[in-house]
């Protein structure tokens, strides 16, 4: 009996370790560039460089919209786009009419009236001139100028309760310090869904007056 439980324990430990490592490896992609202006515990003020994003607006609950928005954007970056440049006529890429775009993190989500905007940040190697144009008209490419955000970082699942808890904490900090905000909250999720909750990186960002 002891041997049986020892084997089960070992299997569980291996599974947990594999899950943690997979989440870490799969999250090892390009992140948006910023520098930290100030930091108190899990709250930071950051200045972000200008970025290029692919964005889609979808209807539904927050959970439904991030799922449907993710699928549309993933379809775009994994090949459903028009390559701006000619593709070399040599095997194995001859006659390809699309181009795969590398994945970046995080996936961002922001309320927009009765719907949600879901966006991917595009790799920094692209500009509006060089980024492959989407075939799906729902996908919009946008240049976002340099901005300053106040951000709270937290782990765990991206559940409504977890988000609400940390958003309330961020809003208290903003109110207590009389910080002028310029946008609604944006939710950012950095990890694939199979990442263990304690290994996940989630953030809530609100644009603030840099002055």
Instruction: Give residue 8's pLDDT.
Output: 41
Identify which has the larger pLDDT, 189 or 98: 189
Please name every residue paired with 56 in a beta bridge, in sequence order, or none if there are none: 118
Identify which has the larger pLDDT, 197 or 23: 197
Residue with the two structure tokens 């595009």 = 122
Could you tell me if 70 and 192 are in contact, meaning their C-beta atoms sit under 8 angstroms apart?
no
Where helices occur in the chain by DSSP H, the ranges are 2-26, 62-77, 160-176
Mean pLDDT, the chain, rounded, equals 80
Q: pTM higher than 0.95, yes or no?
A: no
Question: pLDDT confidence of 39, banded at 50, 70, 90?
Answer: very high
SS3 sequence of 42-75: CEEEEEECCEEEEEEEEECCHHHHHHHHHHHHHH
Could you tell me if 51 and 77 are in contact, meaning their C-beta atoms sit under 8 angstroms apart?
no
Lowest mean pLDDT of 21-25, 78-82, 143-147, 188-192, name the range.
Answer: 21-25
Instruction: Give residue 99's pLDDT.
Output: 63
Question: pLDDT confidence of 1, banded at 50, 70, 90?
Answer: low
Task: Specify whether the backbone of 145 is left (phi greater than 0), alpha (psi in -120 to 50) or beta.
Answer: beta
Identify which has the larger pLDDT, 162 or 95: 162
Give every CB contact of residue 41 below 8 A, 6+ residues apart in sequence: none
Identify which has the larger pLDDT, 72 or 30: 72
Q: Each residue of 114-161: pLDDT tens digit? A: 799 999 988 888 899 998 999 999 999 999 999 999 999 999 998 999
Say yes or no to pLDDT of 113 above 60: yes
Q: Each residue of 62-82: pLDDT tens digit? A: 888 888 988 998 888 888 888
């Amino acid at each position: 009996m002891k041997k049986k439980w020892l084997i089960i324990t070992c299997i569980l430990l291996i599974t947990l370790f594999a899950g943690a490592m997979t989440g870490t490896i799969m999250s090892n992609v390009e992140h948006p560039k910023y520098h930290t202006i100030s930091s108190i515990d899990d709250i930071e003020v950051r200045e972000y460089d200008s970025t290029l994003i692919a964005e889609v607006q979808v209807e539904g609950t927050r959970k439904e919209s991030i799922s449907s928005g993710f699928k549309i954007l993933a379809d775009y970056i994994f090949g459903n786009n028009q390559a701006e440049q000619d593709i070399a006529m040599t095997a194995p890429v001859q006659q390809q009419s699309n181009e795969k775009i590398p994945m970046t993190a995080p996936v961002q989500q922001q309320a927009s009236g009765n719907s949600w905007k879901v966006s991917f940040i595009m790799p920094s190697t692209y500009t509006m001139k060089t980024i492959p144009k989407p075939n799906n008209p729902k996908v919009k490419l946008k240049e976002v100028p340099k901005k300053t955000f106040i951000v709270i970082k937290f782990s765990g699942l991206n559940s409504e309760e977890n988000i609400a808890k940390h958003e309330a904490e961020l809003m208290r900090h903003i109110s207590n310090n009389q910080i002028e905000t310029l946008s609604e909250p944006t939710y950012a999720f950095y990890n694939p869904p199979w990442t263990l909750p304690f290994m996940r990186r989630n953030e809530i960002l609100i644009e603030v007056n840099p002055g």
